[in-house]
């Protein structure tokens, strides 16, 4: 990258926090970011089965994702990188406490190292099934007073019967599945008629500045760009996807 391009890029990164959405570094980068924003919206429509008419499309290699999680699970200092999952897990647990009822049987999808369960008590959740695609992660057991059964399963294919669970939880895992509408429909199916689903996922303009800076740098060096950051579902689309899956009484909140 030329020194002039580097200077513009660094200036954009420093000021991105206070700049209007869609601006970073230069007007040229702004156009690139707006373009990729439209592409991401198009991807969301394709995943929801509208627009393209093709239904779901494979964006993520699930086998590779399993290898990544297995590798991360055995890192000696891996606990140092769990702070975000712990924080989001505690917030999901707080939402459970907001509901004045006890859940006899709950499911934690992609629960990993029990980032949600460690913040719950047996007075709220009596029994818990925890699933994850990584066998290595399932070996880690954090302290929890809730009787927990761990199941090796892909989030895209839930191995449970319909009308099984009173509560389904998910924290920072649904943004990595290929068929989000299908995944939400499966969650709705395994829930009992009066069941509750509480989930948290990465979405919207997460890592927007990083995405734009990578695109700007690659455009200047290569004359084109390829995606280096996962596509995320827009917050405005989540309500529609949940409604299409059969959920009612929806609440979608943007945090962080």
Output the pLDDT for position 57.
63
Tokens encoding 131: 């699933």
Cα(165)–Cα(245) distance, integer angstroms: 17
Q: Give the chain's residues under pLDDT 70.
A: 1-57, 256
Residue 236 neighbours by CB distance under 10 Å: 13
Torsions phi, psi of 195, nearest 5?
A: -75, 170
Output the pLDDT for position 255.
76
pTM beyond 0.85, yes or no: no
For the chain, the residue count is 256
Q: What is the pLDDT of residues 174-192, one digit of tens each?
A: 999 999 999 999 999 999 9
Q: Which residues pair with 252 in a beta bridge?
A: none
Helix (H) or strand (E) segment spanning residue 191: strand 191-200
Cα(10)–Cα(229) distance, integer angstroms: 19
């Amino acid at each position: 990258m030329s020194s002039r391009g580097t200077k513009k890029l660094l200036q954009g990164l420093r000021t991105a926090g206070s700049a209007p959405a869609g601006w970073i570094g230069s007007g040229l980068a702004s156009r690139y970011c707006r373009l990729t924003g439209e592409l991401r919206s198009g991807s969301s429509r394709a995943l929801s089965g509208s627009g393209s008419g093709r239904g779901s499309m494979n964006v993520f290699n699930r086998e590779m994702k399993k290898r990544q999680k297995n590798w991360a699970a055995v890192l000696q200092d891996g606990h140092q990188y769990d702070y975000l999952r712990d924080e989001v897990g505690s917030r999901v647990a707080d939402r459970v406490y907001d509901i004045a009822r006890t859940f006899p049987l709950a499911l934690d999808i992609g629960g990993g190292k029990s980032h949600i369960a460690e913040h719950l008590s047996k007075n709220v959740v009596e029994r818990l099934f925890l699933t994850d695609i990584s066998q290595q992660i399932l070996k880690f057991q954090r302290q929890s007073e809730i009787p927990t059964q761990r199941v090796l399963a892909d989030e895209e294919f839930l191995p449970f019967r319909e009308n099984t669970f009173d509560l389904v939880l998910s924290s920072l895992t649904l943004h990595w599945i290929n068929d989000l509408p299908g995944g939400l429909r499966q969650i709705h199916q395994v829930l009992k008629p009066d069941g509750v689903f509480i989930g948290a996922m990465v979405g919207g303009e997460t890592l927007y500045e990083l995405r734009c800076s990578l695109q700007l740098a690659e455009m200047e060096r290569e004359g084109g760009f390829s995606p280096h950051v996962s596509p995320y579902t827009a917050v405005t689309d989540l309500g529609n996807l949940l409604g299409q899956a059969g959920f009612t009484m929806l609440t979608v909140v943007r945090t962080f």
